[in-house]
């Protein structure tokens, strides 16, 4: 079968931040035969899905922006979810990504055969592609807690990422399970709603860093517009700070340890200065290393949890009954609404699609022993397929947009090599995948993630699913395409 390598048929699954970026980059290569399949009726990924009160980004707005599309109009230092969603919509239309996007096209299966991918959707449509990109995001599939009686709850129960925006919260007794980044944003909004009584069920205290969220004035926005270097400076400084954080979490060198101690001291001081009641402070004090779980960046949680209508429960959940949550001390906490801020399955890449590579190999079989992808992107036996933001991407607290752009650039380099005939198919050699996994393993022990806490950063073997080294080293690696690692 002859493939038009100059303008191949490209399919992208997902019209979120990464999918939009890919279309723009592919067009820069002169590729126009692109189709984006988006399961929902609107675009925007995470920022379409997460609608809970208080949803925001805890990465500074100017750093959570495409490098090629700065936005002088961000209203605050940390933008809210709605504003970020609007930004993506603007970029989507400005770059004409809408012309190649099919909405309401949930992908059911992707099967590779004879050099092409056949993709079928729930609507019964079939698409054929030479190159396939999964841009479905990392944290997409909600994780529901395995608590006895959850289904018996007679009130309203919902996951934080499945928020019912029509719900009237006033005067309600609300329970929240979880105290991660989503919970820390939404709990204060619930507590500050008139007449509510909010019970927070905390299993593990979180490390929390104060994230002051100042609005940008009209004068500042005008300066950003007229002198774009100012936006670039805010972006660089924000990213630099996060880069130091990443180094502190991934290195046990002298410098890494000092940086780690400084970040931990700062968070501890914030807790001590913010929480007046010593008993509550003790409940909120983590007993594991700073950064082992994803650090929560927030300025509203500590003030809110001290309000009279807020209760922090640490006794542990025994079961759920129709009227509420029973904790291990036998107490029934009666509730009208139960919010499950219990996070996501970080290894559910592409699922629940049927995904088959060479010789009918299913992704479940390919990953039976380990979820792995060369440079996070190339899955052995799944040629001409790119798993964006795949395992061991440098997730953590860094800007996921910056990450996505760098991965997209790397993919474009591979596509160019393939177009030039230097690669028969885009696939990593088995020994390169083994080398990649061994390199990751050798670095993991130095990270704080492997220091003995439970978090979504770890896979089933207790190995970090994140990039276990500095941001700088990751970027250098991604800018260096090693042709010898690829099947030629």
d(CA 346, CA 248): 23
Decide whether 119 or 388 has the Cβ nearer to ligand N01.
388
Distance in Å, CB of 387 to ligand N01, minimum = 18
Decide whether 108 or 141 has the Cβ nearer to ligand N01.
141
- The separation between CA 471 and the C-alpha centre of its own chain, rounded to angstroms, equals 16
The number of beta carbons lying within 10 Å of the beta carbon of residue 302 is: 21
The tokens for 51 are: 């609608």
Decide whether 121 or 466 has the Cβ nearer to ligand N01.
466
Decide whether 37 or 402 has the Cβ nearer to ligand N01.
402
Cβ–Cβ < 8 Å for 305, 191: yes
Q: In DSSP terms, which residues pair with 177 in a beta bridge?
A: 201, 340
d(CA 170, CA 197): 9
Decide whether 47 or 418 has the Cβ nearer to ligand N01.
47
Distance in Å, CB of 285 to ligand N01, minimum = 14
Note the residues at the interface with ligand N01 (CB under 6 A): 56-59, 139, 145, 147, 160, 177-183, 185, 203-204, 294, 317, 341-344, 454, 456
Distance in Å, CB of 301 to ligand N01, minimum = 11
Distance in Å, CB of 310 to ligand N01, minimum = 16
d(CA 87, CA 94): 10
Decide whether 160 or 251 has the Cβ nearer to ligand N01.
160
Q: Give the Cα-Cα-Cα angle 192, 196, 200 (nearest 5 degrees).
A: 85
DSSP H/E element including 267? helix 254-274
Parallel/antiparallel/unpaired status of strands 317-321 and 101-102: unpaired
Cβ–Cβ < 8 Å for 58, 397: yes
Distance in Å, CB of 64 to ligand N01, minimum = 8
Distance in Å, CB of 435 to ligand N01, minimum = 28
d(CA 309, CA 306): 8
d(CA 404, CA 135): 9
Distance in Å, CB of 142 to ligand N01, minimum = 8
Decide whether 116 or 199 has the Cβ nearer to ligand N01.
199
- The separation between CA 76 and the C-alpha centre of its own chain, rounded to angstroms, equals 21
């Amino acid at each position: 079968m002859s493939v038009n390598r100059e303008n191949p048929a490209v399919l992208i699954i997902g019209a979120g931040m990464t999918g939009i970026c890919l279309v723009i980059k592919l067009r820069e290569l002169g590729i126009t035969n692109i189709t984006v399949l988006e399961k929902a009726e609107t675009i925007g990924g995470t920022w379409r899905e997460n609608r809970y009160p208080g949803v925001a980004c805890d990465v500074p707005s100017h750093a959570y922006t495409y490098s090629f599309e700065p936005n002088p109009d961000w209203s605050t230092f940390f933008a809210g979810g709605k504003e970020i969603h609007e930004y993506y919509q603007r970029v989507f239309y400005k770059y004409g990504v809408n012309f190649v996007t099919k909405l309401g096209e949930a992908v059911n299966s992707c099967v590779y055969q004879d050099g092409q991918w056949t993709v079928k959707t729930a609507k019964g449509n079939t698409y054929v592609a030479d190159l396939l990109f999964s841009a479905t995001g990392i944290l997409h599939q909600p994780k529901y807690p395995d608590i006895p009686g959850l289904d018996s709850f007679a009130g309203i129960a919902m996951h934080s990422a499945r928020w019912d925006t029509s719900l009237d919260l006033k005067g309600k007794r609300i329970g929240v399970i979880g105290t991660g980044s989503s919970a820390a944003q939404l709990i204060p909004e619930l507590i500050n709603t008139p007449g509510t009584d909010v019970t927070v069920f905390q299993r593990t205290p979180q490390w929390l860093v104060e994230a002051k969220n100042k609005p940008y004035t009209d004068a500042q926005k005008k300066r950003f517009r007229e002198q774009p270097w100012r936006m670039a400076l805010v972006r660089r400084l924000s990213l630099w700070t996060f880069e130091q954080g990443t180094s502190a979490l991934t290195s046990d060198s002298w410098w890494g340890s000092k940086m780690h101690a400084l970040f931990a001291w700062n968070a501890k001081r914030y807790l001590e200065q913010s929480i007046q009641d010593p008993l509550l402070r003790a409940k909120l004090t983590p007993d594991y290393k700073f950064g082992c779980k994803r650090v929560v960046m927030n300025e509203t949680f500590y003030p809110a949890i001290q309000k009279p209508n807020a209760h922090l429960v640490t006794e542990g959940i025994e079961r759920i009954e129709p009227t509420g949550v029973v904790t291990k001390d036998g107490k029934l906490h009666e509730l009208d609404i139960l919010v499950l801020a219990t996070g996501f399955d970080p290894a559910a890449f592409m699922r629940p699609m049927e995904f088959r590579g060479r010789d009918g190999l299913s992704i479940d079989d390919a990953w039976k022993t380990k979820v792995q992808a060369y440079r996070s992107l190339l899955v052995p036996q799944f040629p001409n397929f790119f798993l964006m933001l795949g395992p061991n991407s440098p997730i953590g607290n860094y800007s996921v947009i910056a990450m996505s752009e760098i991965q997209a650039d790397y993919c474009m380099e591979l596509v160019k090599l393939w177009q030039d005939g230097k690669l028969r198919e885009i696939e990593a050699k088995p020994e390169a995948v083994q080398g990649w996994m061994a390199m990751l393993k050798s670095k993991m022990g130095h990270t704080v993630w492997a220091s003995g806490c439970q978090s979504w950063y770890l896979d089933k073997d207790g190995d970090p699913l994140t990039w276990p080294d500095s941001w700088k080293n990751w970027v250098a690696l991604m800018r260096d395409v090693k042709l010898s690692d690829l099947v030629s």
